Structure 1
């Protein structure tokens, strides 16, 4: 392997681990924003992400690229739908992080690759190999076990997995024509009115906390845009340098870290049935990963970008 290629791969691995590492410890950041509620956090996240993206576009002088996308009505509508899905995903994830359901959120991102495969069959009419069907079957068994253990469907996990799964399908329709920063900019442009309305409602119900708690707390909320955009930029840098198969393996770092944060930092309960359910999910992921490596088929790129 040429020295240049090895160097690019090493940098790609570094960028990839940084991106998924940041996504993995994201629950701790949201917990630091207390007493701000999940609805206010997500609204500020949308608005400050839009501001940060505007700054990046200004620095990189890519306003012409953004204007070009604005003229493509189909792409704009698709990005609007993508924005709606990622808004739902963000809202549920932040709610989970701030209400003691980090482990359940981690489960959602563990099963996301399996959901992506399942949606490929239902929506895109793709044909699965037997070993892929086995992985889907094992994951369904895991959901049944967890449902029995919880006494109810693990709705946070399923909502996160399916909202991001559909988000991946929508992004797949756009393809490489919209880069990470432009995509996030368009999504937050669509969501900005929703975020403003959400802030007005929160202000009327319980009052806004922005600027009222402490300087550190205010800086933490202002940093929401950076916290959202930087991992996306790191991921984009990694994706340009690494095979998708490698990225597909690295993506499990985020839910692993979330799981460890939930269990060992936040001391969330892990009764036996939850361990069994997680164990079945991990078995399904091992089956899917082995099949991916043996067949040489990389997972969809869109499924690699967590929240």
Structure 2
């Protein structure tokens, strides 16, 4: 199996796990989101710690937690991803999985806006058109339902900000995420302790529930590891297209398994989002091809310039 194919399969697997995760969280919809998030944090730390010990990489983790600026960025990133996780879990528990999937559809377009106004990146016409279409979809949904899709906007914004912060961190994904959740672990341990002191803690009351809570660690860690594996072997444009598997499966879970309502306003807004993503993807693919072509041309020019006279005569 080629490295590209194994990377694609790893990316598909991670997106399928993320996309079907609402089914798992629905099994724990009686556990308050804050308590569930505290267990997700704890067991993810345990999973990553064991992994790093086995790999002999604990020194990298200690190094990542040095330097005031880097620790501050990691802490802010952890707040962004914790908010994202909380909104996602809450959306499933209150029957808003459809809105959560909308958030992850909007995320790439929100990331484009942040890239434009934070990193001063230039956007192609197709990318601007995609943003306009997505904005129109949100406006239509807000008008039709009488309320803005706040969960979708929170999920897309926090995840885009999380990605922007991570862009400035010179750390691998496993080390970075372990450091992030380790920094906020004391807070979530206090949350967990508070629930147990109130006699409302879910862990230990039932074997099945306790095991499901422990599974939240691998459920957080394994897709991330697969994504990291894929990112090193697959073109960024391919990763961008494959990531839409995640919100698509979430959407199908919401409508076909959970039976959430899908109004006429959703029927207008979602196709607009899908068109926006199609336009965005085509534009991204064109940019990627143009960039690679420019690199190849530059490389060819560089090769011609550095050739010796004897090389030139031997290879006309």
* Residues 238-257 of structure 1 mapped to structure 2, 5 A cutoff: 238-257=230-249
Match of 2:253 in 1: 261
Contact 2:15 2:223 in 1 (8 A): yes
* Residues 200-219 of structure 1 mapped to structure 2, 5 A cutoff: 200-203=193-196, 207-212=200-205, 214-219=206-211
The alignment status of 1:183 with 2:176, answered yes or no, reads yes
Contact 2:202 2:209 in 1 (8 A): no
The alignment status of 1:274 with 2:249, answered yes or no, reads no
Match of 1:301 in 2: none
Match of 2:45 in 1: 50
1:144 to 133, 139, 148: 139
The alignment status of 1:230 with 2:240, answered yes or no, reads no
Q: CA deviation at 1:217?
A: 1.3
Unaligned 5+ runs, structure 1: 1-5, 299-307
Match of 1:118 in 2: 113
* Residues 85-131 of structure 1 deviation map (CA, whole Å, 9 limit, x = unaligned): 00100111000112211110000000000000111122222222222
Q: 1:132 to 1:275 in 2, by over 3 A?
A: same
Match of 1:95 in 2: 90
Q: CA deviation at 1:225?
A: 0.8
CA distance in 2, matches of 1:241, 1:123: 28
CA distance in 1, matches of 2:224, 2:15: 9
Q: CA deviation at 1:65?
A: 1.2
CA distance in 1, matches of 2:281, 2:62: 40
Match of 1:170 in 2: 165
Q: CA deviation at 1:45?
A: 0.6
Match of 1:128 in 2: 123
Match of 1:283 in 2: 275
Contact 1:263 1:269 in 2 (8 A): yes
CA distance in 1, matches of 2:289, 2:262: 34
Report the number of matched residues: 290
* 259-268 or 181-190, larger mean C-alpha shift: 181-190
* Residues 272-304 of structure 1 deviation map (CA, whole Å, 9 limit, x = unaligned): 111101111111111100101122269xxxxxx
* Residues 257-285 of structure 1 deviation map (CA, whole Å, 9 limit, x = unaligned): 00000000101101111110111111111
- SS of the residue 1:223 aligns to: helix
* 197-206 or 244-253, larger mean C-alpha shift: 197-206
Q: CA deviation at 1:12?
A: 0.7
CA distance in 2, matches of 1:86, 1:51: 18
Match of 2:31 in 1: 36
Q: What is the TM-score normalised by the length of structure 1? A: 0.91
Contact 2:124 2:283 in 1 (8 A): no
Contact 1:44 1:221 in 2 (8 A): yes
Task: Tell me how large the CA RMSD over aligned residues is.
Answer: 1.5
CA distance in 1, matches of 2:239, 2:124: 22
CA distance in 2, matches of 1:205, 1:215: 20
Q: 1:264 to 1:234 in 2, by over 3 A?
A: same
CA distance in 1, matches of 2:109, 2:53: 38
CA distance in 1, matches of 2:144, 2:195: 34
